[in-house]
Chains A and B, each alone.
Chain A
Amino acid sequence: MISDTELQEMYGWMVTARYYEERLQEEYLEGKQPAFDISAGPIPGELHLAAGQEAAAAGVCSHLDDADTVTAPHRPHHVAIAKGVDLERMTAEIFGRRTGLCKGKGGHMHLFDSAVNFAGSGIIAEGCPPAVGAALAAKKRGEDSVAVAYLGEGAISQGGFLESLNLASVQNLPVLFVIEDNDWAISMPKERVTDIRNGSQRADGFDMPGKRVDYDDACAVYEAAGEAIGRARDGNGPTLLEVQVHRRMGHFMGDAEGYRPEGDSERAKRRDSIERMETTLQKAGIDDDTIGDIRDRSHQRVDDAIEWAKDQPEPEPDEAYDDVFTNPPAGWTPNTKPEQAESTGGDD
């Protein structure tokens, strides 16, 4: 059974993530209108929003604490929020500020918050092997923490994922692989790139439990993830979990989605996991005031984080040359422009 506290917490994460991305979207588009220029505005670069995928984050992360590791792919905000990544510093990172999680070096696809063991990667499926490694470390140290690797349904054909399933299985490691099936990998629908109906079937080949949650109900995800994570903590090895979610937006901001059939994105928007969650809360006897309160507080938290982030200083150009190593070898330089070491040789 899910406690009221857990329900409310999950709902809070979900509305935080949804509102966060609405606000990011506004900020992102600033300076990119009327002509969309990816490098303009206060948030430059690619931006992959996860609106419609919040249930997959909330239902799993509800079972995790700070010691557990999560790796996220290029679409990370909802998972980061549910994992407890510092929202202010994450936002500052997305705005490219010096006080951001990664001092402005990472950006939205590469968020790292070691306080809660969260890490990102923009290379498809390549967050899976490090999650296996985190689980391996936990096992070797006799700790009961687990690791969760998030990936999209497009990533299930990637070697890094399949090799990770095998390694986790043969080593009996405490890992949960979570496939967020939003039906699309950029412009490629899943039936074009795989013959299996469900990503969870990949588990069969590795003699590992595979489970699919067919609708993006955070509570159903909670149940399935709870069982898997419990098994992992008890030393009974990995699980593959797939969750049907919905991609309400383009693949990234600026994607005109010309490839998407008429009505598909409207359909995705109609199946709203947040509305479903509100109904669940009401059924559990949580009154509308409480629900409204959670929503308001979540929105406030987001607004505060964005305001804080935008006030933060940008990095100094020279900081680009720091952080290559934690322990730079004596005499090593990244060949910085300020001290470009090239000789002006010969005798001129």
Chain B
Amino acid sequence: MAEADEPETAETTDERETTMSRAMVSAIASEMRDSDDVFVMGEDVADYGGIFDSTDGLLDEFGREKIMDVPISETGFIGAAVGAAQAGMRPIAELMFADFFGVGMDQIYNQMAKNTYMSGSTVNVPMVLMTAVGGTYNDAAQHSQTLYGTFAHLPGMKVVVPSTAADAKGLMHTAIRDDDPVVYMFHKRLMGIGWMPAPDGPKTSVPEDDYTIDFGEADVKREGDDVTVVTLGLHVHRALEAAADLTGEIDVEVIDLRTLVPLDTETVLESVRKTGRLVVIDEDYHSFGLSGEIIARATEGALADLSAVRRVTMPDAPIPYARPLEQAVNPGREDIIEAVQAVTE
């Protein structure tokens, strides 16, 4: 919020270009206007407006009772969100960086994610755990992870990863209205923060009116016949850039998963049946995670159609600080191009 790049304007047009953070905030604000049960808890969510602008402007409209700064106690406040949700409210708890999940993990995976099941659905947990993910700005091993696979692996929570403003808004509406816990993971680099320039893609035209995007519907961000690239978050944009570079050489289809739980296997299979080649791009660790899961589903569902498979991911190593090191491990456009070329050889 240091230098918010766009003040909210009172335009009354039907659609306007906006950043991902503004789109998220507008969904939260609208849900808060509609329901007294929705409120926000987190570190630096009030005056600061969220370190990554995810709550910027909400304090002015809703005040401190609803936009609550809380002590640095992730176990305490995430667990309190679980309890408030079970009591019928719809809290949005912000975990400042997904990397900090360790501090409050029990409340996340043993309480939030399991109480519905353990209670035989006599209890439900309608909360959103909103959290910032990802690297590319040299914040090193404790502040750069996505952990997509970790959250998606543990049963009982829905996992959402928007890559554009339009998706971010619709998915946020759906997340808040959902009767189950939703982990909403936004990539810092996509937010449109003044001090962390976003690539061109995430700032999109966004309808002014409320709308929802169903979970479990991947979005084909680019159609193509030769290779299926499956990805999410920041790497949707890197994949689109790579696909543009390959125009005329290889016709690349780019699938943005948008939600991991539920996962839209059908869209992936349909594409793979058409192209016969699959490349998964993931900013999470290599082994035992998202990329392996996508490839497993593709082989389970379309083995006969598959001629080649690759994945480009972070390695099985913590994320280094120095620029040349981080650049080496975070999948870049060139890496994506290489992988796409490799499966077409």
Contacts and interface: CB of A to CB of B under 8 A. Distances in A.
Interface of A: 35-39, 44-46, 93, 96-97, 100, 102, 104-107, 109-110, 121-126, 154-155, 157-160, 185-188, 192-194, 254-256, 258-259, 314-321, 323-324, 333-337, 340, 342-348
Interface stretch (B16-24, B246-254, B310-318): B310-318
Contacts of A337: 312, 315, 328-329, 335
A106 B321 contact: yes
Nearest to A260: B47
A122 B343 contact: no
Interface stretch (B26-34, B138-146, B172-180): B138-146
Contact of A186 (B43, B140, B329): B43
A332 B313 CA distance: 17
Given A188-B43, A320-B320, A104 B137 contact: no
Interface in B282-320: 286-287, 306-313, 315-318, 320
A346 B308 CA distance: 6
A231 B338 CA distance: 62
26 contacts: A37-B195, A37-B196, A39-B137, A44-B138, A45-B139, A96-B322, A107-B139, A121-B142, A122-B142, A124-B72, A158-B73, A186-B48, A188-B43, A188-B44, A193-B71, A258-B47, A317-B328, A320-B320, A320-B329, A323-B317, A335-B316, A336-B315, A343-B309, A344-B309, A345-B308, A348-B276
A72 B31 CA distance: 41
A157 B73 contact: yes
Contacts of B326: 320
Contacts of B7: none
A344 B100 CA distance: 37
Given A45-B137, A259-B47, A324 B324 contact: no
A268 B30 CA distance: 40
B1 interface: yes
Sort chain B's interface into a size bin: 35 or more
A35 to B, nearest CB: 8
A342 B310 contact: yes
A97 B103 CA distance: 31
B19 to A, nearest CB: 16
B136 interface: yes
A315 B345 CA distance: 33
A215 to B, nearest CB: 25
A42 to B, nearest CB: 9
A123 B103 contact: yes
A18 to B, nearest CB: 24
Contacts, number: 191
Given A104-B321, A187-B47, A317-B325, A36 B195 contact: yes
Given A107-B140, A109-B140, A110-B141, A346 B306 contact: yes
B103 A158 contact: yes
Contacts of B345: 344
Contacts of A344: 308-310, 342-343, 345
Nearest to A341: B286
A259 B72 contact: no
A126 B287 contact: no
Nearest to B344: A348
Most buried by B among A109, A194, A340: A340
A335 B287 contact: yes
Interface in B56-103: 69-73, 75-76, 99-100, 102-103
B118 interface: no
A39 B136 contact: yes
Contact of A105 (B136, B137, B320): B320
B154 interface: no
Given A44-B137, A193-B69, A193-B70, A104 B309 contact: no
Contact of A45 (B75, B138, B315, B335): B138
A342 B317 contact: no
